[in-house]
């Protein structure tokens, strides 16, 4: 029993820190720390920096350009990135589609698409959810009908994050009416610039426009864009949803958010003393900090189990539930810390370059909007209630 | 980073778990825990022979373990069987002797490790509420020795202890950190009155009144007036032990509840098929794993030199265990329904123990406040 990282792992941490110190643009880190919204250019810039170092596709095997990191190294990398204000890697191409192609794609697909993910030539988005298929994902209605060398796709996807930047979308589509729901789904790669694809932004409650609806009307998709076998898409979809989820707790992000909360709580005053010394507020902070310290060890235990040959199946559901609850609690405390100054909503202040006098503490500008935005954490990637269903079935055997 | 125990520690855990399973069935346990002595001297001897007490102390102190994880492993096994034998007293008094004792005083560790002497920490008083520095019992010099007067409350097995470690004030005001001294007092000292009683979760405790108890100079443990650090040190080990014990008990309660959900049928199907209950059970599982992590954090920190880091990890763990232990107890009873309310069901005794752990050495609120206070420096 030893909670310390090995000297090699500590050396790796130092290497990551040095890299972040040298290569992470301060302009981008400042935006991340301020909770401001990142542009496509910001994200492309960061992806290219990581790719140059060989660290972008850090979940991929070395054969395809991954760095060959252990789960512990990935944990350390995520942790250090979060503390330094590195943007979250946009996961759809590199962390979601990439591993599916590597496991289930044919040689031609791997050779064509994987390098394009690395180079940023393609920006991928995810076509999973539909208006009638959220938690019940297998209920999708979008169809793909084979006609000669093409599939003709009709239907609608929704909650397509950053679809406005994407030129490609990977979709779950229904390719058979005969079989059981799960046995009639296929995994299809669709060019967003095809005739018949229409994208409409959805404005979320924080005023942001990061998610979209995507409509497909008689969209022609070449059959070589089918991944794996027809009607086996559910297997691939599930693989994608459970692949490498040891980072799902977002411990590093919560640690960074907690640091920010402490700074704010020491700056904002109540009854003539820092909010951090207000008994009720300090109690809330202490509780979430303890929960986070426990979570970090829980996360490392799961990683160690994976390193020992285990598979992070349902355990990742535990990490997801508790990890997102903790992060949401911290974001809610940041909002509370702002007091009345959480109310003003200056949309321009959510973006880089806003130079007007802040209303209240400067952190107030994004506090409420971020809090509302991150309510998504317990909804996406399988809602926390769905995760509890998975735990009941897979761990508890109920 | 490594979350597996050493081979030695695994073997110890295996043999203890086997002993507890085979020799400490719930019927036997309840007979002794609620019996005349509150524990079984015979089992206590057997535990000693198995090395369960020696594992709590380092080789230098006559044991063969003594690290945070050794203590956690032993107490987790004890928790699985709701063992009431006086381990906690042996651990806390023994660690105080090891930390602050003279050579002659340290020699008494052997009696504890052999299980021939029952030891008890007598610190809580009728008017205190987990505070370490609130001590009103007085010790005054008289000639070469000391005279102790005052009262101690809920001293575990204080009615049967041969060796008491007593906190008393030798100077300063009621809440002063300085001025607390520790004394080794024989259980049969003249002037010591004792009222023993059973505990709701099994085992015994006692109210002790010190009416001019006279002690020799050699009764003082450590330096006069500087006992608080030793007390904190000893209680820290006790906190870790209680936390680990609770995780053992939680595992059993969780498993029993899960099996009940799988077998109990209502509306024609196992009640575990109902989502309302599934989600509560899933929450329970999550919380128990968080509790286990808290114990790992505390066990890793307790051997460290940085007092703040160590004590914060201990308070974080005790806070976590207090909260989650109570939750596991209440949810286990609720998910069992009426049968969970019965004395006959072993689960109900686990529930009682889990709640009562929060009443020993500081509860959830106490340790949260302490965690916060330690973080302010």
- Dihedrals phi, psi of B260, to nearest 5 degrees: -65, -45
Decide if B64 contacts B51 (C-beta within 8 A): yes
CATH number of this structure's domain B7-117: 1.10.540.10
Q: What is the pLDDT along chain A (398 residues), one digit of tens a residue?
A: 889 999 999 999 999 999 999 999 999 999 999 999 999 999 999 999 999 999 999 999 999 999 999 989 999 999 999 999 999 999 999 999 999 999 999 999 999 999 999 999 999 999 999 999 999 999 999 999 999 999 999 999 999 999 999 999 999 999 998 878 899 999 999 999 999 999 999 999 999 999 999 999 999 999 999 999 999 999 999 888 766 577 889 999 999 999 999 999 999 999 999 999 999 999 999 999 999 999 999 999 998 888 776 666 678 899 999 999 999 999 999 999 999 999 999 999 999 988 888 888 989 999 999 999 999 999 998 899 999 999 999 899 99
Nearest to B282 among A2, A293, A396 (CB): A396
Residue B285 has pLDDT above 90, yes or no: yes
What is the mean pLDDT of the segment spanning B248-254? 98
Of A154, A155, A97, A151, residue with least CA distance to A123: A97
Contact B1 A1 (CB under 8 A): no
In a domain, A115, yes or no: no
**Residue A16 contacts B where some CB pair is shorter than 8 Å:** no
Quick one: average pLDDT of B210-215? 98
What residues of B are in contact with residue A3 (Cβ under 8 Å)?
1, 296-297, 300
Q: Residue A340 maps to which CATH number?
A: 1.20.140.10
Q: What CA dihedral angle connects B297, B298, B300 and B302, to 10 degrees?
A: 160
The minimal CB distance from B289 to the residues A286, A318, A396 is found for A318
Give the pair of three-digit tokens for residue A63: 């054969």
Quote the pTM value: 0.94
Distance from CA of B91 to the nearest CA of A (A): 21
pLDDT of residue A316: 87
pLDDT computed for residue A1 by the predictor = 86
Which of B5, B296, B320 faces A290 most closely, judged by CB atoms? B320
Percentage of chain B lying above the pLDDT 90 cut: 98
Q: Are residues A372 and A292 in the same domain?
A: yes
What value does the mean pLDDT of chain B take?
97
Among B283, B285, B293, the residue with its CB nearest the CB of A297 is: B293
Do A373 and A249 fall within a single domain?
A: yes
How much is the pLDDT for A353?
Answer: 87
What is the mean predicted confidence (pLDDT) over B344-365?
98
Give the CA distances from residue A321 to residues A248, A271, A380, B70, B287, in Å, rounded to whole numbers and listed in that order. Answer: 9, 36, 11, 31, 11
Interface-testing mutation among A392, A393, A394, A397, with chain B (most B C-beta atoms within 10 A): A392
For residues A257 and A361, membership in a common domain is answered with yes
Q: Tell me the pLDDT band of B2, cut-offs 50, 70 and 90.
A: confident
Q: Would you report the helix, strand and coil content of chain B in percent, each value rounded to 5?
A: 55, 15, 30
Q: How many domains are contained in chain A? A: 3
Rounded to an integer, what distance in angstroms lies between the CA atom of residue B140 and that of residue A3?
46
ipTM strictly over 0.90?
yes
Q: Name which of A35, A88, A42, A82 is nearest A361 in CA terms.
A: A35
Q: Which residue among A42, A69, A89 closes a domain?
A: A89
Tokens 């974080």, located at residue: B316
| pLDDT digits 0-9 by tens, B30-87 | 999 999 999 999 999 999 999 999 999 999 999 999 999 999 999 999 999 999 999 9
Q: What is the pLDDT of residue B257?
A: 98
Partner-chain contact A392 B281, CB within 8 Å: yes
Confirm or reject contact between B1 and chain A (CB < 8 A).
yes
Task: Tell me whether A135 touches chain B (CB under 8 Å).
Answer: no
Rounded to the nearest angstrom, the gap between the alpha carbon of residue B86 and the centroid of all alpha carbons in its chain is 9
Domain with CATH 2.40.110.10 in chain B: 120-225
A328 & A366 share domain: yes
Residue intervals in chain B for CATH 1.20.140.10:
229-375
Q: What angle do CA A326, A327, A329 make, to 5 degrees?
A: 65
DSSP character string of A130-164: BTTBSSSGGG---EEEEETTEEEEEEEE---TTGG
Question: Would you state the pLDDT for residue A313?
Answer: 67
**What residue of B is the nearest CA neighbor of A6?**
B1
pLDDT reported for residue A244: 59
Q: Give the residue on B whose Cα is nearest the Cα of A315.
A: B286
Contact B286 A304 (CB under 8 A): no
- Looking at chain A, how many residues does it have? 398
Is A39 found in the same domain as A78?
yes
Tell whether A252 is covered by a domain: yes
Whether A394 and chain B come into contact, CB under 8 Å, resolves to: no
Note whether A395 contacts B: Cβ–Cβ < 8 A: yes
B 289-328: CB under 8 A from A: 289-294, 296-297, 299-300, 313, 316, 319-320
Q: What is the CATH number of the domain that holds A182?
A: 2.40.110.10
In this structure, the strands spanning B192-198 and B265-266 are unpaired
Residue B264 has pLDDT above 90, yes or no: yes
Q: What is the pLDDT of residue A307?
A: 78
Structural domain of A26: 7-89
As annotated, the residues of chain B forming the CATH 1.10.540.10 domain(s) are 7-117
Which residues in chain B are contacts of A2 at CB distance < 8 A?
A: 1-2, 300
> Model confidence over B157-201: pLDDT tens digits?
999 999 999 999 999 999 999 999 999 999 999 999 999 999 999
* Cα B245 to Cα A396: distance, rounded to the nearest angstrom: 23
Instruction: Classify strands A273-274 and A211-222 as parallel, antiparallel or unpaired.
Output: unpaired
Q: Which residue has the tokens 């004030």?
A: B169
Determine, for residues B299 and A1 on separate chains, whether the beta-carbon distance falls below 8 Å.
yes
In a domain, A163, yes or no: yes
Q: Looking at the domain assignment, is residue A134 inside a domain?
A: yes
Residue from the list A291, A387, A398 with its beta carbon closest to the beta carbon of B262:
A398
Fold topology of B120-225:
Butyryl-CoA Dehydrogenase, subunit A; domain 2 (2.40.110)
Give B-chain residues touching A277 at CB under 8 angstroms. Answer: 376
Cβ-based contacts of B300 with chain A (< 8 Å): 1-3
| Cβ–Cβ gap A1/B6 under 8 Å | yes
Q: Where are the beta strands (DSSP E) in chain A?
A: 124-127, 143-147, 150-157, 168-174, 185-191, 197-202, 211-222, 226-227, 269-270, 273-274
| Chain B CA closest to residue A390 | B282
**Residues from chain A contacting residue B365 (CB–CB below 8 Å):** none
Among the candidates A171, A195, A230, a domain finishes at: A230
Q: Is residue B377 pLDDT above 90, yes or no?
A: no
Of A198, A230, A262, which residue constitutes the final position of a domain? A230
Question: What pLDDT is attached to residue A179?
Answer: 79
The verdict on domain B229-375 having CATH code 1.20.140.10 is yes
Q: How far is A366 from chain B (nearest CA, A)?
A: 28
Distances from the Cα of A154 to the Cα of A143, A198, A216, B107, B203, angstroms? 5, 11, 5, 84, 71
Residues of B within 8 A of A286 (CB-CB) are: 368, 371-372, 375
């Amino acid at each position: 029993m030893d909670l310390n990282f090995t000297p090699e792992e500590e050396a790796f941490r130092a290497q990551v820190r040095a890299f972040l110190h040298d290569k992470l643009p301060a302009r981008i880190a400042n935006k991340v720390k301020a909770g401001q919204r990142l542009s496509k250019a910001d994200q492309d810039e960061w992806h290219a920096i990581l790719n140059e170092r060989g660290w972008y596709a850090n979940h991929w095997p070395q054969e395809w350009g991954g760095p060959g990191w252990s789960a512990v190294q990935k944990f350390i990398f995520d942790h250090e990135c979060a503390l330094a204000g590195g943007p979250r890697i946009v996961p759809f191409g590199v962390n979601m589609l990439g591993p599916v192609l590597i496991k289930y794609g044919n040689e031609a697909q791997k050779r064509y698409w994987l390098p394009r993910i690395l180079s940023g030539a393609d920006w991928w988005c995810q076509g999973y959810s539909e208006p009638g298929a959220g938690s019940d994902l297998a209920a999708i209605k979008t169809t793909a009908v084979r006609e000669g060398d093409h599939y003709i796709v009709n239907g609608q996807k929704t909650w397509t994050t950053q679809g406005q930047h994407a030129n490609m979308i990977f979709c779950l589509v229904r390719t058979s009416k005969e079989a059981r729901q799960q046995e009639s789904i296929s995994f299809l790669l669709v060019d967003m610039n095809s005739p018949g694809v229409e994208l409409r932004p959805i404005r979320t409650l924080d005023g942001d426009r990061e998610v979209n609806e995507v409509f497909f009307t008689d969209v022609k998709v070449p059959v070589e864009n089918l991944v794996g076998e027809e009607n086996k898409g559910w297997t691939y979809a599930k693989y994608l949803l459970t692949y490498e989820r040891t980072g799902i707790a977002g411990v590093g992000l919560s640690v960074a958010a907690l640091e920010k909360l402490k700074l704010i709580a020491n700056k904002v005053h109540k009854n003539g003393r820092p909010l951090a010394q207000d008994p009720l507020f300090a109690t809330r902070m202490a509780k979430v900090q303890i929960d986070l310290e426990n979570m970090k060890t829980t996360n490392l235990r799961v990683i160690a189990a994976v390193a020992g040959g285990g598979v992070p199946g349902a355990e990742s559901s535990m990490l997801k539930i508790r990890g997102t609850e903790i992060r949401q609690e911290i974001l809610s405390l940041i909002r509370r810390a702002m007091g009345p100054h959480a109310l003003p909503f200056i949309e321009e202040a959510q973006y880089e370059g806003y130079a007007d006098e802040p209303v209240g503490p400067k952190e107030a500008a994004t506090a409420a909007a971020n809090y509302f935005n991150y309510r998504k954490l317990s909804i996406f990637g399988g809602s926390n209630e769905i995760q509890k269903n998975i735990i009941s079935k897979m761990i508890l055997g109920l | 980073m490594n979350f597996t125990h050493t081979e030695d520690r695994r073997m110890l855990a295996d043999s203890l778990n086997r002993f507890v399973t085979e020799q400490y069935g719930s019927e036997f346990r309840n007979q002794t825990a609620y019996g005349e002595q509150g524990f079984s001297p015979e089992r206590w001897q057997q535990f000693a022979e198995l090395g369960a007490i020696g594992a709590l102390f380092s080789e230098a102190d006559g044991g063969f373990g003594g690290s945070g994880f050794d203590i956690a492993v032993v107490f987790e096994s004890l928790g699985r069987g709701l063992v009431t034998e006086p381990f906690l007293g042996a651990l806390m008094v023994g660690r105080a002797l090891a930390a602050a004792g003279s050579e002659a005083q340290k020699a008494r560790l052997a009696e504890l490790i052999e299980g021939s002497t029952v030891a008890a920490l007598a610190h809580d008083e009728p008017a205190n509420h987990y505070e370490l520095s609130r001590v009103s019992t007085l010790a005054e010099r008289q000639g070469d020795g000391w005279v102790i007067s005052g009262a101690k409350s809920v001293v575990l097995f204080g009615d049967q202890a041969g060796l008491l470690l007593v906190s008393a004030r030798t100077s300063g005001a009621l809440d002063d950190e300085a001025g607390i001294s520790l004394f080794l007092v024989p259980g049969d000292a003249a002037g010591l009155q004792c009222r023993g009683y059973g505990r709701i979760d099994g085992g015994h405790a006692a109210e002790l009144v010190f009416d001019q108890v006279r002690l020799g100079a050699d009764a003082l443990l450590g330096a006069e007036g500087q006992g608080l650090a030793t007390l904190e040190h000893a209680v820290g080990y006790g906190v870790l032990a209680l936390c680990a014990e609770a995780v053992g008990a939680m595992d059993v309660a969780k498993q029993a509840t899960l099996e009940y959900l799988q077998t109990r049928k209502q509306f024609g199907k196992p009640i575990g098929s109902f989502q309302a209950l599934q989600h509560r059970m899933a929450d329970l599982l999550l919380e128990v794993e968080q509790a286990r992590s808290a114990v790992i954090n505390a066990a890793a920190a307790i051997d460290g030199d940085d007092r703040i880091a160590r004590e914060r990890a201990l308070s974080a763990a005790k806070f976590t265990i207090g909260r989650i232990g109570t939750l596991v107890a209440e949810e286990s009873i609720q998910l069992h329904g009426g049968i969970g309310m019965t004395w006959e069901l072993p689960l109900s005794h686990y529930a009682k123990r889990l709640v009562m752990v929060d009443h020993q050495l500081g509860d959830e609120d106490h340790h949260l406040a302490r965690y916060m206070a330690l973080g302010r420096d």
